[in-house]
Amino acid sequence: MKKKSTQKSTIQAQPHYTKVGRLRKPIAKQIRRVAADIYISENHLKHIFIRHEDEMENIGLTPQMFIDLVLNGFNRIYKGKNEALLLVLWNCKPKVTIIELNLALEKEFYEIITATIMRKEYLEDRELLWKKEKRLV
């Protein structure tokens, strides 16, 4: 009989991380990645506030609202640098919203590295890994 582990997972032992979402199994399978929770550290959240708050406020969102919007509505995933994932909320405007994810702590979870607004040209040389199919109804 197997013993149940009473040890917390590595991420649960990290108080400066907050869970904000999950890369679900159907999408992860399609892009040949692991399905895992998505977290953000206090340091990366500070970075987003310091570097990108103004551009987010220009579209009427706080950085936290921006992160929630992209995590709940992304419709494309591109391959980033060094195996990072770019979750993209693609629309008909000349700019797109992007969250960059990296696998962290021995590939136990994804960590948001940054969240920003970019011109679509930024993605031209990136590999499209997944695109949400439009439904007629």
Q: What is the mean pLDDT of residues 62-70?
A: 92
Task: Report angle CA 81, 84, 86 to the nearest 5 degrees.
Answer: 100
What is the pLDDT of the chain when averaged over all its residues? 87
Residue 62 lies in a domain: yes
Residue 136 lies in a domain: no
* pLDDT in the model for residue 3: 45
SS3 132: coil
> Given pLDDT bands bounded at 50, 70 and 90, which one contains residue 9?
low
At residue 115, does pLDDT exceed 90?
Answer: yes
Lowest mean pLDDT among 9-13, 26-30, 78-82: 9-13
H-type alpha helices, the chain: 25-30, 42-57, 63-73
Residue 99 lies in a domain: yes
At residue 7, does pLDDT exceed 50?
Answer: no
Q: Taking the model in full, what pTM does it have?
A: 0.85
Domain span at residue 61 reads: 17-124
Q: What is the mean pLDDT of residues 43-54?
A: 91
Domain count, the chain: 1
How many CA atoms lie less than 13 Å away from 44 in the CB half-sphere? 22
Residue 2 lies in a domain: no
Torsion of the alpha carbons at 18, 21, 25 and 31, rounded to the nearest 10: -100
Residue 87 lies in a domain: yes
* pLDDT in the model for residue 11: 56
Residue 131 lies in a domain: no
Residue 133 lies in a domain: no
Cα–Cα distance for residue pair 14/1, rounded to 1 Å: 30
Residue 8 lies in a domain: no
Cα–Cα distance for residue pair 133/1, rounded to 1 Å: 45
